[in-house]
């Protein structure tokens, strides 16, 4: 039974990977936003940022945009749960002889993997635009990308377990995503920001993802990289537990 | 007395402590038989199937599926039945073969056996030549056949079919019933089905239970039901037993969503 749970997780993961690579429009479409942010903000604010003594803005902004694209696609992957529920496939998995926890875990892993791939694509684009990361730390960077992905996939799945309609889900995630992104230190340094923004950033999970990525790629960060890693790991456990609990209560 | 595949005693399901969807029902489905579970919309059919298939917990009563309690041993029970839901439950974005392959994985079908089993079953429902097509390109009848094949992949002892032929043309319906009969006769599969087509129940079922307002109003062979109610056929008997009143069923958000999805895909199904 144990080995079957592991294989079932693999099967659920594989399903999402296959669907992701088949949906070319989704891959291309979700690259639009990060590219616009990179080009418009990166080149638009670049000279002001440099004049203010912040250094190369692309270097500062890129980890933030990578984190953003991962977060958006991770939270959004929750919508697949709503699709599956509405179009019946969820029932097929719910009557299978595997536990809800296994199903939740497989789905989250799948959504997190596709979001990480999305992040890697954006990472390559930032390099093309002029980002010069510390290649030695690329493994750390990947680890943080996956960390951000899993935190926000669990969040999206947890949210989707409590909702039935898709438009509602879209509105709610916009409501949540935008403030989390703008107040995470992805776009500007938090050290010089007003006090209250710093406080919001303290409790914003994305701040630690952005900071960790920045630490890994550019060796510049607010907190030590170990602190970022521990916070992300802790939030992962918390969100996964909440998500599993909500998912186990779902009726189909 | 033959062994029961499904045994239900004093089964009750209440929602929110007020609405009683299923009210103290009892029935028995012998192993290897074909059993029809009939009733108007909202009578409690789907609620009962959900309880039999571990998707809902009963409020009270005793359930046994192949001798096992679905509340205490959900995994063992799930392993022992296959189900074709009322609404489609395939993944449209995957190929027919992938749908089968993923089912085999979730049900722990030994990996050495699954390719052969998938091939046999897909040939049985005559979909093997379409194995690499996306399910979204399939017609309603093809999807149904694939769902039946999928439901049989882990060699269950019972097959649940919740309105398997709704919305299909008469040719496809006959086709599907010929499969089901073959499975019942050749493999001794127990079949539990619901339908709104009374002639299907009359023709295929050895035993029929009619449920209305959460209560079983009749449980007998089709011949006896017709004879006892003095009707010409099962449809007439059904109407006599359940009345002429039309039942309203809440339209789910799913209908709206289906329309929306069709719009997004430019009218393709």
d(CA A90, CA A112): 19
What's the pLDDT tens digit per position in B83-137?
A: 999 888 999 999 999 999 999 999 999 999 999 999 999 999 999 999 999 999 9
For residue A18, list chain B residues with Cβ-Cβ distance below 8 A: 94, 98
pLDDT at B261: 58
Return the percentage of chain A with pLDDT > 70, whole number.
98
Give pTM, 2 decimals: 0.87
Cα angle B147-B150-B155, degrees, rounded to a multiple of 5: 135
Q: Is residue B164 part of a domain?
A: yes
The reply to whether residue B102 touches residue A98, judged by beta carbons under 8 angstroms, is no
Number of domains comprising chain B:
1
pLDDT at B252: 53
Domain ranges of chain A: 2-248
- A95 vs chain B: nearest CA distance in angstroms? 6
d(CA A65, CA A60): 10
Q: Which of B82, B91, B118 to mutate to test the interface with A (most CBs of A within 10 A)?
A: B91
* DSSP code of residue B251: P
Interface check A93 vs B, CB under 8 A:
yes
- Other beta carbons less than 10 A from residue B230's beta carbon: 9
* Structural domain containing residue B134: 4-264
pLDDT at B268: 42
What's the pLDDT tens digit per position in A43-58?
A: 899 889 988 888 899 9
SS (H, E, C) B224-243: HHHHHHCCCCHHHHHHHHHC
Q: Which helix (H) or strand (E) is B8 found in, with range?
A: strand B4-15
Q: Is the pLDDT reported for residue A183 higher than 70? A: yes
pLDDT at B166: 86
Q: Is residue B246 part of a domain?
A: yes
Q: Is residue B139 part of a domain?
A: yes
The reply to whether residue B55 touches residue A97, judged by beta carbons under 8 angstroms, is no
Interface check B157 vs A, CB under 8 A:
no
**What is the residue whose two structure tokens read 């030590």?**
A224
Ranges under pLDDT 70 in chain B = 1-2, 248-269
The reply to whether residue A7 touches residue B54, judged by beta carbons under 8 angstroms, is no
Q: Is residue B29 part of a domain?
A: yes
Q: How many CA atoms lie within 13 A of A231 on its CB side?
A: 19
pLDDT at B172: 86
pLDDT at B250: 56
Mean pLDDT of chain A: 91
- Other beta carbons less than 10 A from residue B78's beta carbon: 24
Q: Can you give the CATH number for the domain in which B223 is found? A: 3.40.50.300
Which of B79, B98, B254 lies closest to A97 in CB terms? B79
Q: Is residue B248 part of a domain?
A: yes
The reply to whether residue A7 touches residue B88, judged by beta carbons under 8 angstroms, is no
pLDDT at B256: 55
Q: Is residue B269 part of a domain?
A: no
pLDDT at B254: 53
Chains A, B: CB pairs < 8 Å: 81
What's the pLDDT tens digit per position in A123-182?
A: 999 999 999 998 888 899 999 999 999 999 999 999 999 988 888 999 999 999 999 999
β-pairing verdict for B158-162 and B81-84 = parallel
The reply to whether residue B102 touches residue A11, judged by beta carbons under 8 angstroms, is yes
What's the pLDDT tens digit per position in A97-110?
A: 999 999 999 999 99
Q: Is the pLDDT reported for residue A2 higher than 70? A: no
């Amino acid at each position: 039974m144990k080995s079957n749970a592991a294989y079932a997780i693999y099967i659920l993961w594989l399903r999402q990977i296959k669907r992701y690579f088949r949906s070319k429009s989704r891959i291309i479409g979700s690259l639009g936003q990060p590219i616009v942010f990179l080009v418009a903000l990166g080149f638009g604010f670049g000279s002001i940022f440099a004049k203010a003594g912040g250094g190369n803005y692309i270097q500062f902004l890129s980890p933030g945009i990578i984190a953003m694209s991962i977060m958006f696609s991770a939270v959004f992957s929750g919508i697949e749960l709503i699709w599956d529920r509405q179009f019946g496939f969820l029932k097929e998995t719910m009557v299978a002889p595997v536990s809800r926890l296994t199903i939740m875990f497989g789905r989250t892993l799948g959504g997190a993997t596709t979001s990480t791939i999305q992040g890697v694509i954006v990472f390559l684009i930032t390099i093309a635009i002029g980002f010069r990361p510390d290649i030695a730390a690329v493994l750390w960077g990947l680890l943080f990308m996956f960390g951000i992905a899993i935190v926000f996939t669990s969040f999206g799945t947890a949210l989707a377990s409590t909702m039935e309609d898709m438009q509602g889900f879209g509105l709610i995630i916009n409501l949540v995503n935008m403030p989390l992104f703008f107040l995470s230190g992805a776009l500007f340094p938090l050290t010089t920001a007003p006090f209250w923004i710093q406080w919001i950033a303290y409790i914003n999970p994305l701040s630690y993802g952005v900071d960790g990525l920045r630490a890994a790629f550019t060796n510049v960060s607010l907190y030590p990289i170990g602190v970022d890693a521990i916070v992300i790991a802790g939030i992962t456990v918390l969100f996964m537990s909440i998500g599993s609990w909500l998912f186990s209560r779902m009726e189909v | 007395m033959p062994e029961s595949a499904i045994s239900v005693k004093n089964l009750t399901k209440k929602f929110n402590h007020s609405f009683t969807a299923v009210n103290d029902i009892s029935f028995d489905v012998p192993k290897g038989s074909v059993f029809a579970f009939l009733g108007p919309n909202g009578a409690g059919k789907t609620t009962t199937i959900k309880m039999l298939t571990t998707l809902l917990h009963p409020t009270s009563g005793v359930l046994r599926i192949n001798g096992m309690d679905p509340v205490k041993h959900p995994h063992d029970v799930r392993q022992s039945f296959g189900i074709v839901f009322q609404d489609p439950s395939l993944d449209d974005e995957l190929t027919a073969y992938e749908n089968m392959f993923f089912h085999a994985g979730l049900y722990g079908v030994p990996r050495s056996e699954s390719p052969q089993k998938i091939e046999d079953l897909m040939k049985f429902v005559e979909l093997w030549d379409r194995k690499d097509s996306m399910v979204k390109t399939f017609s309603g009848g093809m999807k149904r056949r694939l769902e039946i094949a999928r439901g049989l992949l882990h060699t269950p002892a019972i097959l649940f079919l919740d309105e398997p032929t709704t919305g299909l043309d008469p040719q496809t319906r006959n086709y599907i019933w010929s499969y089901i009969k073959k499975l019942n006769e050749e493999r001794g599969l127990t079949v539990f089905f619901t339908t709104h087509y009374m002639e299907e129940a009359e023709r295929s079922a050895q035993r029929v239970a009619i449920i209305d307002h959460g209560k079983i109003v009749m449980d007998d062979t089709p011949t006896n039901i017709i004879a006892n109610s003095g009707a010409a056929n099962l449809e007439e008997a059904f109407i006599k037993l359940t009345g002429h009143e039309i039942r309203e069923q809440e339209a789910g958000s799913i209908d709206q969503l289906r329309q929306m999805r069709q719009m997004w895909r430019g009218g393709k199904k």
